[in-house]
């Protein structure tokens, strides 16, 4: 069965000096940083007041 997005084709690469990274790898790194930032910045679940009370 064919995939909805076919990735079995030659990749694009970003070259900078001796660094050579595929665009898909760069996207994964960007997503990892985004998840890391979200994990720090998003509030804990159960609401603001509840967690503040429990933390004390």
Residues of this chain that interact with other proteins (CB under 8 A) are 1-13, 18-25, 27-29, 32, 40-41, 43-44, 48, 51-52, 54-56
Residue pair 38/45 in contact by the 8 Å Cβ criterion = no
Residues 6+ apart with CB under 8 A from 43: 51
Closest approach of other proteins to the CB of residue 34, in Å: 14
Closest approach of other proteins to the CB of residue 52, in Å: 4
Closest approach of other proteins to the CB of residue 41, in Å: 7
- For 45, the token pair is 């679940």
């Amino acid at each position: 069965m064919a995939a909805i997005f076919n990735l079995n084709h030659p990749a694009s690469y970003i070259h900078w000096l001796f660094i050579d990274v595929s665009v898909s790898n760069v996207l994964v790194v960007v997503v990892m940083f985004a998840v890391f930032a979200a994990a720090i910045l998003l509030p804990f679940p159960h609401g603001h007041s509840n967690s503040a009370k429990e933390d004390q």
